[in-house]
Amino acid sequence: MRIVVQRVSEAAVIVDGRSVAAIEQGLLVYLGVAVDDNDADLTYVVDKVRHLRIFSDENGRMNLDVAQAGGTVLVVSAFTVQADARHGRRPSCESAATPDRARVLYELFCDALVRTGLTVQRGSFGAMMAVQSINAGPVCVLLDSRKTF
């Protein structure tokens, strides 16, 4: 699994002109599921997102995770996070899971974050979404369960 994590002061997902999810301070997570992702990949990324210390403490250092900072999480499924643009000009998404498989792992990811005590909002899987966000920092972190970067 690959994830783009953004620390945000607010974020929202709009589908067909209506808001389907919105958060204030927290994490905007773009999740890309690979064709061969499994339970180990899921466990790895859930733990990383849950405990990623990218919020400032009283000394201005990034020492707090999203729960310690009182934030929430908005998860958006984005198969293009799996895109490979190393060759040519059109990104290849061959490594992305099929929609049926990706939906299962997307839901498992969101449910697992909820079980850790986080409040989680979800985008609209498979829909054309307008994602609005105000990145705080900006802070953007790339995670990959295969640790390729």
- Give pTM, 2 decimals: 0.96
Q: What is the mean pLDDT of each run of 10 residues along the chain (149 residues)?
A: 98 97 98 97 98 97 98 97 94 96 98 98 96 97 92
- Which is it for strands 72-77 and 120-122: parallel, antiparallel or unpaired? parallel
CA distances from 144 to 34, 37, 69, 102 (A): 10, 11, 24, 16
CATH code for 2-139? 3.50.80.10
